[in-house]
Amino acid sequence: MIIVLKPRADAQVVNHVLERIAALGLTPHLSQGVSRTIIGVIGDESKLATLPLQAIEGVEQVVPILKPYKLASREFHPEGSAFEIKGVKIGGGGLAVIAGPCAIESEDLLVEIAGRVRAAGANILRGGAFKPRTSPYSFQGLGEEGLKILQAVGEQFQMPVVTEVMDPRQLEMVEQYADILQIGARNMQNFDLLKECGRTRIPVLLKRGMSATVKDLLMSAEYVLSEGNRQVILCERGIRTFEDSTRNTLDLSIVPNCQLQSHLPIIVDPSHGTGRPELIPAMARAAIAAGADGIHIEVHSCPERALSDGPQALVPDQFDRLMVEIRALADLMGKTITSQTGETAVCAPC
């Protein structure tokens, strides 16, 4: 349930309510907006029967949260969440443009790709050091060496970096190098991994599972939030359907659907969602038009030689042209693309 305090409730009132909830062995979660303070209560709510909450001075209303994802719900946090990662704003009008190769293959190649996407206007660099592959004989990533390369290149181009963590045992290593922890579609319901990521304070990019419902996705986000990490970014990357002309079916209805149900930012990955580079620009534009808080694009300077997912990557020239369109669309939608320097990123001429 959530406890809504009266407008302009002071710190003494807030602390008193928090103490009464904690005394019952329940966990309070404080959410302070511009004009309202809301306290979410997690745990066995039957214990609250012994506590007349509305009799406490400063409490205006007590509302049960009907949805199973309590901390991720709009009921708990009516305003959309927004946060900054090294000066890059995500949510609240900030548009994340995440770009880079599927896998980190070498430092020279990553420098080349990062330079191009940064010049075009991307503000977050992606690259996989650990690659979950269908075949055990496929390239599995460079591991820690790849993480070192990603961190160094991100610093060189002043871009925060995101990379996937696949196992709780990798987390201690990955968090030394990454600014955002990506949980891939195959691990969306790896609950031990979700909880461990929740115990960090590093933002988490949570990708929707291949057969997951919106509720499933938000329940997975709840695992991260329940451990104290409030910086969760949802990501639509396509789901499995009967359609076989695309890699997956990109479900853009999830953007307004999630925004109605949850306060968490949501971005869209049209690279995995379609698997076809000729479809990526249209789906990226459509995602932003639908209200997404960002896009996630795979870019490679020579896709035919890529060690992972080359067929779904844009080449830098294609990404340049897309970013000109994204810039115009972002302006129309009232969104800004900020960089690590705190300035609005500027696209290079194509």
CATH of the domain at 275: 3.20.20.70
Asked if residue 297 belongs to a domain, the reply is yes
CA 82 to CA 94: how far, in whole Å?
A: 8
- The pLDDT value recorded for residue 269 is 98
Pair (257, 128) in one structural domain: yes
- Quick check: pTM over 0.85? yes
Pair (90, 218) in one structural domain: yes
Is the distance from CB of 97 to CB of 319 less than 8 angstroms?
no
CA 146 to CA 106: how far, in whole Å?
A: 8
- The pLDDT value recorded for residue 274 is 97
Pair (125, 269) in one structural domain: yes
Asked if residue 158 belongs to a domain, the reply is yes
Pair (41, 190) in one structural domain: no
What confidence tens digit (pLDDT) does each residue in 105-130 have? 999 999 999 999 999 999 999 999 98
Q: Name the average pLDDT for the chain.
A: 91
Is the distance from CB of 205 to CB of 180 less than 8 angstroms?
yes
- The pLDDT value recorded for residue 350 is 39
Q: Quickly state the pLDDT bin for 213 (edges 50, 70, 90).
A: very high
Number of alpha carbons in the 13 Å side-chain half-sphere of residue 282: 7
What confidence tens digit (pLDDT) does each residue in 220-279 have? 999 999 999 999 999 999 999 999 999 999 999 999 999 999 999 999 999 999 999 999
Q: What are phi and psi of 150, to 5 degrees?
A: -60, -45
Q: Which residue has the higher pLDDT, 186 or 134?
A: 186
Q: Which residue has the higher pLDDT, 142 or 65?
A: 142
Q: What is the dihedral of CA 71, 265, 82, 293, to 10 degrees?
A: -170
Asked if residue 6 belongs to a domain, the reply is yes
Asked if residue 19 belongs to a domain, the reply is yes
Asked if residue 165 belongs to a domain, the reply is yes
CA 265 to CA 255: how far, in whole Å?
A: 9
Pair (58, 115) in one structural domain: no
CATH number of residue 43's parent domain: 3.30.70.1140
Over 50: is that where the pLDDT of 347 sits?
no
- The pLDDT value recorded for residue 233 is 98
Asked if residue 281 belongs to a domain, the reply is yes
Average pLDDT value for residue range 198-206: 97
Pair (129, 270) in one structural domain: yes
Structural domain count of the chain: 2
Asked if residue 151 belongs to a domain, the reply is yes
Over 60: is that where the pLDDT of 35 sits?
yes
> By C-alpha distance, which of 271, 333, 290 is closest to 117?
271
- The pLDDT value recorded for residue 342 is 61
> By C-alpha distance, which of 264, 262, 193 is closest to 231?
264
Pair (148, 15) in one structural domain: no
Q: What is the DSSP letter of 8?
A: T
Pair (50, 99) in one structural domain: no
Is the distance from CB of 93 to CB of 40 less than 8 angstroms?
no
Asked if residue 77 belongs to a domain, the reply is no
Pair (251, 154) in one structural domain: yes
Whole domain around residue 37: which residue ranges? Answer: 2-63
Share of the chain above pLDDT 70, in %: 97
Pair (168, 288) in one structural domain: yes
How far from the centroid of its chain's Cα atoms is residue 145's Cα? Answer: 25
How far from the centroid of its chain's Cα atoms is residue 261's Cα? Answer: 16
Pair (231, 269) in one structural domain: yes
Pair (172, 272) in one structural domain: yes
